[in-house]
Every structure is written in structure tokens, then in C-alpha cells.
Structure 1
Amino acid sequence: MTIGFSSRTSRVARVAVCCSAVCTLAALAVATNPEGAGLPFGTGAQDAKAGQEPPSLYRPGTQARPRAGAPRVPRDVSAVSWLVADAGTGEVLAAHNAHRKLPPASTLKALFALTVLPGLPAGLRHTVERAELAGVGAGSSLVGVKENRTYRVADLWRGVFLSSGNDAVRVLAALNGGWRATAEQMQDKARSLGARDTRVVSPDGYDAPGQVSSAYDLAVFGRAGLRNAEFAAYCSTATAKFPAGGWSYDIQNTNRLLTGAGVDRYPGLIGIKNGYTSKAGNTLIAAAKRGGRTLVVTVMRPRTGGGLAVYEEARSLLDWGFRAAGRVDAVGSLVPPRPAAAPQTGPESPPVLEEKEEVTGPGWPAAGVITGAAGLGAAAVALALRLKSGRLVRD
């Protein structure tokens, strides 16, 4: 038997078949390219990984958006990576290779303090055991912690911030649950702050295989630290007394911009942490306040100028930042993206996807997208056939 179609019904059928094919092909395209689903035109996979952060900070080279009349970004900065941000708003004013992963040296102690400070009361007294000092790396900076000697937690923190003492870090980590547990907690803390370039292996910042951070992440840690009153007080302390049994000795902050040792002290400086290892070179997180505005600057591995270059380059970037604030547009933000809304629960809730299901586009399983699109097309074909048979009449 031959089935005939009127010209009107035939046109409907052809349109339905085409819709079915287009829907299925589109679904296949989304399913096979999940990273590109739901992104604006011109946005690539790397930008998707950046989340809500503007993709410009993931580009190599210097990133800045000056308005008319804004001062030029300093050209005398030789650091492999650097960043200038407003500590109050989190806006990044300019950066160079912001997400390049490099060894952080003792600037990683800023993350250590962010992680451990809240759980250890400053007045807690502790007698150091020999095992707690085991594992301090050769050539480490030390404040002079001794076994069988009793210290307050506040003393140990001054040893960390001023003398960059890896011995003090070891004892505080032991009080915090151990070296490995502290490293894991630091990693979790970094992720919670949106710092995803950092990999923690040695909590004191001592060179270790695979341990990295970035100018962006260090600025995140510095900004977060300034929002903690204890952290801010320790990192801005220039000199202190460190106990040695029945007496004490003077210790001085190794941040030269704070003390003026070998370089001019920077006006309004409030910390935060410097570092050096043979692998990392010189690194620095610095913050300063002027006229009601606080800036945070990070500098990683200057390539010229010797051991003091990290301070002079930070000075140059701070000077520029205070002149440029309000005259440039932000190129990014240190504020982490807002977490996704918690899934609904109850009888009306949509089903929760299992981990094994691949998610594409707005959150549908890939197989579901294809199946649904194909089903839609099939329904369109069925509609056309019903029109032909006269079972569906349009008023």
C-alpha cells in the first residue's frame, strides 16, 4: 500500500524531520564538548577553569587596564611574577604572570598562619619535645627553639613571623595535629580561599618537590591574613623578645621594608611575609596603608638586582598602586567565587546526579541530553503523521 501526503502535510513532516536531526546533532555537539557548554562566545576551556575570575589574569605577560591619564605600570620590575591589589575590595589593579606556579619559599608561612592560628590560643604554654624539632631542613632559618624549654604559643608565632623560624613552625604544626595533617589543612584552606595554584608539601615553605604557589595565591593569603587581627599584629611587628629560659634575646623582622635594614623603610608598611630559598629565589608579600587605602603586593623571583631587589620592586609597585588606584579598571579579583547554591531536598527536588554521570551544559547528563533531543524530534515526526491521518484538527 502506498501512503500519500498532501503538500501541506508533507511540508510539516519535512520540517519535523529536520528539527529532529538538528536537535540530535546539537545535543551530540554539547555532549562531546562539555567544557565549552554554556560559555559565552570567545571563551575557551582555560577560561572555564578560571570560574568567575576574568580570564585576563591567566594570560602571560603584564595585565592592566589604565584609564586616560593613569600612571604607567612600572617597567623596572624584573620579577618573574607579581601582582598589585586593593586589600579592601580585592580588586587586582595590575599583574604579571599572576597564575604562574613557582616555589613560594617562606611566604607560604602566611597560609600556615591562616590555617593554624585560629585553633591555638596565644597564651597556651607548651614544653617542646625533641621529636617536634625533627625534620627541620638543612640551612633553614631558625628562631632558636630548644627542646625541654617552655614557650607560649604567642612566642612561637613571633618566631614564625619575625625570624621565619622553621623550628617554630615545626612545634606549632605538632600542636596542630602533625606535619602531614597541617599540610592537608593548608591545602584545604587554600582551596576555600579560591587559591588553586598552590600545592602544599612542606608547611614551612622549605623547598620540596611539587610545592608551588603563585603571585595571585600569595596575594589572596596576604589579604585574608590582614582581616585576622592576630595575624595582622604579628606580621607588622618589627622587633620582639624571644624567651631563652631565664632570659630573652632580641629578634627582628626579616622584612626589610618594615625594619629599614639595608633599604629605606616603606611608609605605612604593615607586613606581611618575605622568603628565600635557592630554588625559589626571593619572594615577598607586602602590604601598606595610605590615605585610608590598603594595598597588597606580591613579588616572586626578581631576575636582576641581587637580594634587595625584591624589596625595591615591591616599593615600586606599591608607589604605582597608590597613584593608580581609582584611575585604572580592575583586571581581576582576589575574592573567591560564590559557592554554588545547595541542592534542594524533598519530594519536589530534582534527582541528584551520581558522580559517575558526566555533566554538560547547565548540568544535565550527556546521555539525557541526547535522548531528550532525539525524543523531541520523534514527537515532531509523530505529530506530522497524525496531521496526515486527520486525527488532529487545528481550529
Structure 2
Amino acid sequence: MALLLFLSAAPREAGAFAPQVTADAAVLLDARTGTVLYGRTPYERRPPASTTKILTALVALEGGRLSDVVTVSPYASWTEGSSLYLRTGERLTLEELLWGALLESGNDACVAIAEHLAGSEEGFARLQNKKAWAIGAWDTHFVNPHGLPAPDHYTTAYDLATIARYALRNSKFQEIVRAREKVVSGPSGGRSFFSTNRLLWSYSGADGVKTGTTAEAGQCLVASATRGGRQLVAVVLHSDDRWSDAAALLDFGYTESRLLQPGKAGETVTVPLKNGLTPAVTARLAQDLYVVVPWQKVGRVEKSLEVQALKAPVERGSKVGEVVIRVEGETVTRADLIATQAVAARNPATVFLWRLYRPLLARLWGLHLL
């Protein structure tokens, strides 16, 4: 659940300490929770240029095999714009093409990937859009795999951040976008690729993601950085200085907010129980609980249990309540409590059996049974 403590009803520019950015559209997300920390027209549809290739790579990683050998078609080799200068008939692995697409922004590599996986750019665009919508990027519609200007090829700053956040969960994607350079050796010989993302050299903790530039889209950048185990994703579109803009957003995130973990999956609590053979049931937290708050509110995070009057019998694995996290009284996230044991209802028959077998169970399981 994304927490909007920084931006109330809808993302807007933050207050007095808002980062100074030149981009027409920008957004900053916490990668773990999806919390929006800053937004400037984050839902405005805009041309994405080569940041399109984030989704291209994601579709390829999930739908193809890295070891697949791809033969470059004449159509792919003639693709305009930034290029790996692939030759018609040249053979490369899908992994080589992904390195070339993400590091050097090769449009020809993207077309080769699209044709290999879907037979055409049009078919591949359908896969891109299906994936985008599945992960919540609902204002995204692509018609090609590289981002060259085209009617109906658009996304938003928020959607790009959402796509990048999802893609960064893929270990191969992470490996590629954090690399400054890469030497690959495939069926047609060796190649060297160098990242277009200058932030990898200039910003401490930078680990991705992708640049993009066209006359229509302007300077674009999807950037990520990890510090102290916390990853942020920044997006700037149509920027006058994408490097400074992205750095300012990331600095703002690390300076003005904190990621807290008030609950861990598997953590156990005791929940009172009525009419059971035991007066309580042990329950575990079903998932990790994370919350992002302004640094000034770190001490105002409250954790409580919400349990309705629980009555036996209780089945193991059933939901018996929730752990609720609030900040200044506002609920920001919650997780289920799951029973770790079955407890029968109290009646003459179950009480008799319980008393009869309790010493044996205690010896077998080393339990202190009431």
C-alpha cells in the first residue's frame, strides 16, 4: 500500500523543502513500497523516448531465453536513431541484444528483440501494453520497442517509475542497468557496450536505469539509487538538466524521508480466544510491513492489533485479526494475522480428551500447555 503522507489527495510539489527541478514532469518513488515522495504533473501523458526500452527489456526477460540466438533482419539493421550498427544476418544472443539496448540504447537491437519474440514491432507492442497494464501502468501505450516518435506512443512519469520499480526486481535487469560498461562475446564475436547513464559515475549509490532523448520528448531519465539498503526511483521528462534534476530528487528522498519496518513476516503474537481449550491462539504476521514517513514523523508511528471477539473453534491458517500501522492516527498499512495452530471449542468431550492427552503432547512437543 502506497503511503501519501508527503502528497495529500494527489501528488503535487512538496512544501518549502521541495527539490528544485527543471523537468516538465517528474516523480520520485520509494522502490519497496511505491510511496510517492514527490510529483510534478506525474500523470500527464508524454513521449518517453528511449526510456521505452525499460519495458522492452522487461518483456524480453520474462518472455524469452537469454541464450536464444537472434538473426538480425534487414528491417532491424536499417532502424534509424541510436544504433549498435547491427548488420543484416548478424547473429547475437538475446542477452547481448539486451545489453546493447539498455546500455547503448540501440534501436536496432530493440527491433531485433521485438521480431524475435513477437514476429513484428506491432505484435511486440501488444505484449508491451499488456505487461504495462498488468503492473498498473494504465496511462502507457506503446507502438514500438525503442521510443522513436510515433502517434499514440506515450506514458507518464508515474507509469515509468512503476515500470522501472517492477523491472528492478529482476536480477538480470538489475545487473545490466547498474553496469557502466560490458564486454560480451557471442556468435558473431565480441562487442563492448558503454552506458549512456552518466549518473552511474556521478551519484553515490546510483544503480540504474535508462536515458532517453528526442526533440519531442526532450532530455529524459529514469534513475535509481540505493543507500543503506533503501532504493529510490526518480523520473524526469523534458528536462533542461536531467542529471541535476534526478540527483536533486534522490537527495530529497534520502534527506526528507525514512523507510521503517514496523513488522516482519512470521512475527508471532498471542490473540485472546473465547470458549477454546486454550485461552489464546498464537498467530503470525502474514507479510512484512513497511512504511515511508517524513523524518520528522519517525517517532509518531504506532502499531496495534485489531482483533474482533474471537471464538473457538479456530482452524490453523485462518485469519484471526490484523496488525495495523498508523501515523498520527492515520492508518497507512495493515497485514493479516494467521493462526499457527488449531484450537477446538470447549465442551465436555473435548475437555476430557484434552486433559487425558495433554501430558503426552507436552512430552512429545516440549510444550507448556495450560
Q: TM-score range by the shorter chain?
A: 0.5 to 0.7
* Structure 1 letter corresponding to 2:138: R
The answer on 1:142 being equivalent to 2:83 is: yes
> Deviations along 1:145-183, whole A, 9 cap, x unmatched?
212222111111110011100000011001111211110
**For residues 216 and 249 of structure 1, do their structure 2 counterparts lie closer, same or farther at Cα, with a shift above 3 Å needed?**
same
Question: CA shift at 1:234, angstroms?
Answer: 1.2
State which of 55, 72, 78 in structure 1 corresponds to 2:17: 72
Is residue 83–residue 107 contact of structure 2 (8 Å, CA) maintained in 1?
A: yes
Residue type of the alignment partner of 1:275: G
Output the CA distance in 1 between the equivalents of 2:151 and 2:204: 37
Counterpart position of 1:106 = 50
Partners of 1:144 and 1:82 in 2: CA distance? 32
State yes or no: 1:121 paired with 2:65: yes
- Higher mean alpha-carbon deviation, 98-107 vs 202-211, is at 202-211
- TM-score relative to the length of structure 2: 0.65
Structure 2 residue matching 1:301: 3-state secondary structure: strand
Partner residue in 2 for 1:189: 131
SS in 1 for 2:131: helix
Alignment length (residue pairs) = 258
Matched, 1:235 2:201: no
Q: Check 1:243–1:214 CA distance in 2 against 1; reply closer, same or farther (3 A cut).
A: same
> Cα deviation per residue 1:228-258 (whole Å; 9 max; x = unaligned)?
1111111111101255976534321001111
Relative contact order higher in (CA < 8 Å, ≥ 6 apart): 1
Aligned to 2:98, what secondary structure does the other structure show?
helix
Separation in 2, partners of 1:247, 1:121: 20
Q: Which runs of 5+ in 2 are unaligned?
A: 259-292, 296-370
Instruction: Tell me whether 1:323 sits opposite 2:255 in the alignment.
Output: yes
Paired letter, 2:72: V
Cα distance in 1 for residues equivalent to 2:182 and 2:171: 18
Alignment counterpart, residue 219 of structure 2, candidates 273, 282, 288? 282
CA contact (8 A) 2:49 2:214 kept: yes
Contact 2:70 2:112 in 1 (8 A): no
1:300-315 aligned at under 5 Å gives the runs: 300-302=237-239, 304=240, 309-315=241-247
Query: Which residue does 1:356 correspond to in 2?
Result: none
The question of whether the paired residues in 1 share the 8 Å contact of 2:92 and 2:186 is answered with: no
Matches within 5 A, 1:233-382: 233-242=175-184, 247-258=189-200, 260=201, 265-302=202-239, 304=240, 309-326=241-258, 327-328=293-294
What does residue 117 of structure 2 align with? 176
Distance 1:94 1:87 in 2: 13
Residue 301 of structure 2 corresponds to: none
What amino acid sits opposite 2:151 in the alignment?
P
Query: Structure 1: which 4+ aligned runs deviate by more than 4 Å?
Result: 56-59, 242-247
> For the structure 1 residues 63 and 328, does the alpha-carbon distance in structure 2 shift closer, same or farther, using more than 3 Å as the test?
farther
Residues 310 and 233 of structure 1: CA distance in aligned 2, closer, same or farther (over 3 Å): same
CA contact (8 A) 1:57 1:95 kept: no
Aligned partner of 1:86 in structure 2 is 30
Q: Which amino acid aligns with 1:79?
A: A
Number of the residue aligned with 1:370: none
**Greater strand fraction, Structure 1 or Structure 2:** 2
Contact 1:57–1:98 at 8 Å: present in 2 too?
A: no
Partners of 1:190 and 1:126 in 2: how far apart? 25
Contact 1:58 1:99 in 2 (8 A): no
State the SS of the aligned residue for 1:271. strand
Q: For 2:106 and 2:8, how far apart are their aligned partners in 1? A: 33
Structure 1 counterpart of 2:100: 159
User: Shift of residue 197 of structure 1?
Assistant: 1.5
- Give deviations 1:37-85, integer Å, cap 9, x for gaps: xxxxxxxxxxxxxxx997x6885x8343x7xxxx8111x2111111111
CA contact (8 A) 1:179 1:203 kept: yes
Check conservation: 1:82, 1:298, Cα contact below 8 A.
yes
Is the contact made by 1:169 and 1:204 (CA closer than 8 Å) also made in structure 2? yes
Q: Secondary structure at the match of 1:123?
A: coil
- Report the residue type matching 1:153 in the other structure: L
Rounded to whole Å, the distance in 2 between the matches of 1:188 and 1:163 is 26
Aligned partner of residue 155 in structure 2, secondary structure: coil
List runs of 5+ in structure 1 lacking aligned partners.
Answer: 1-51, 330-395
Identity percentage over the alignment? 32
State yes or no: 1:219 paired with 2:175. Answer: no
Q: Which SS does the other structure have where 2:212 is aligned? A: strand
TM-score, L = length of structure 1: 0.61
User: Aligned ranges for residues 1-80 of structure 1 at < 5 Å?
Assistant: 62-64=12-14, 72-74=17-19, 76-80=20-24
Asked if the contact 1:58/1:97 (under 8 Å) is kept, the reply is: no
The answer as to 2:41 corresponding to 1:97 is: yes
Residue type matched to 1:228 in 2?
Answer: N
Q: Are the structure 2 counterparts of residues 58 and 152 from structure 1 closer, same or farther at C-alpha, using a change threshold of 3 Å?
A: farther
Task: Determine the C-alpha separation between the residues in 2 that align with 1:176 and 1:320.
Answer: 40
**Pairwise CA RMSD:** 2.4
- Separation in 2, partners of 1:231, 1:57: 33
* Match of residue 358 from structure 1: none
Q: Distance in 2 between matches of 1:156 and 1:312?
A: 30
SS of the counterpart of 2:204?
coil
Partner of residue 316, structure 2? none
Deviation of 1:184 after TM superposition, in Å, equals 0.9
Q: Distance in 2 between matches of 1:175 and 1:79?
A: 35
Q: For the Cα contact (< 8 Å) 2:48–2:154, is it kept in 1?
A: yes
- The DSSP-based 3-state class of the residue aligned with 2:52 is helix
1:199 maps to which residue?
A: 141
Greater gyration radius: 1
